[in-house]
Amino acid sequence: DAKTTQPNSMESNEEEPVHLPCNHSTISGTDYIHWYRQLPSQGPEYVIHGLTSNVNNRMASLAIAEDRKSSTLILHRATLRDAAVYYCILNPAGNQFYFGTGTSLTVIP
Amino acid sequence: DAGVIQSPRHEVTEMGQEVTLRCKPISGHDYLFWYRQTMMRGLELLIYFNNNVPIDDSGMPEDRFSAKMPNASFSTLKIQPSEPRDSAVYFCASSPTRPGVEQFFGPGTRLTVL
């Protein structure tokens, strides 16, 4: 399974943008890039996913490098409710997800 | 839709006892996944089913673990006999057929084996 590398932790001030990086240098052409987050004491929840082009939804934006070896999850205005562990996952053209250790995001009021 | 339903939410048992965790996936989803989460190992995929058939059980830790999906709306994960190192949060997730789509996770079952 393809590997991803994320910083263990990040901090952000409330109402400021947050850029969460992910490196996936061994990505293959059919791997989708997924982001999930896990709030304390909850199951993971879907944030966003993409293949080649940048993606936007109501929760976040996903910026994918041109060579697809890295991506960045962008939260446009962090709120206290965004404090969670964020997982960057490569999903081959199938349905298995292999979660790494993720980035623990702390939002400072 | 109620989402993925798991029961029980909490389970405390003694070493050697049989434990059965239950999951009801979202209606219409063809894939069902069982994960385990611990502080030491993070989130691990144990097994997943497609149309009630086990596809990949390579993540099942040992023979004490077994999973079944007798129909499209129900799955079980059984541990027999249980050991303290099985203590973890067990998540069930489901997803539709197409690749590259999101998985929907249940709230998890927190298992404590004394």
For B6-64, write each residue's pLDDT tens digit.
Answer: 999 999 999 999 999 999 999 999 999 999 999 888 899 999 999 999 998 989 988 99
The type of residue at A77 is R
CA distances from A43 to B6, B68, B91 (A): 11, 21, 7
Best interface-test mutation with A: which of B90, B101, B103 has the largest number of A CBs within 10 A? B103
Closest residue in B to A97 (Cα–Cα): B45
The pLDDT confidence band at residue B101, using thresholds 50, 70 and 90, is confident
**What residues have CB less than 8 Å from A47, skipping those under 6 apart?**
A35, A36, A37, A59, A60, A73, A86
Q: What's the pLDDT score for residue A93?
A: 58
By CB atoms closer than 10 A (0-12, 13-18, 19+), residue B62 is: exposed
Peptide bond preceding A7 in cis form (omega within 30 of 0): no
For A92, the token pair is: 């081959």
A77 vs chain B: nearest CA distance in angstroms? 23
Adjacent-strand bridge partners of B92: B34
Handedness of CA A64, A65, A70, A71 (dihedral sign): negative
Best interface-test mutation with A: which of B29, B43, B53, B92 has the largest number of A CBs within 10 A? B43
Quick check: B78 pLDDT over 60? yes
Quick check: B102 pLDDT over 90? no
Q: For A32-54, how does the pLDDT look when each residue is reduced to its tens digit (9 = 90+)?
A: 899 999 999 899 999 999 999 99
Task: Give me the phi and psi of A82, to 5 degrees please.
Answer: -85, -5
Quick check: B86 pLDDT over 80? yes
Residues of chain A with pLDDT under 70: 1-2, 92-95
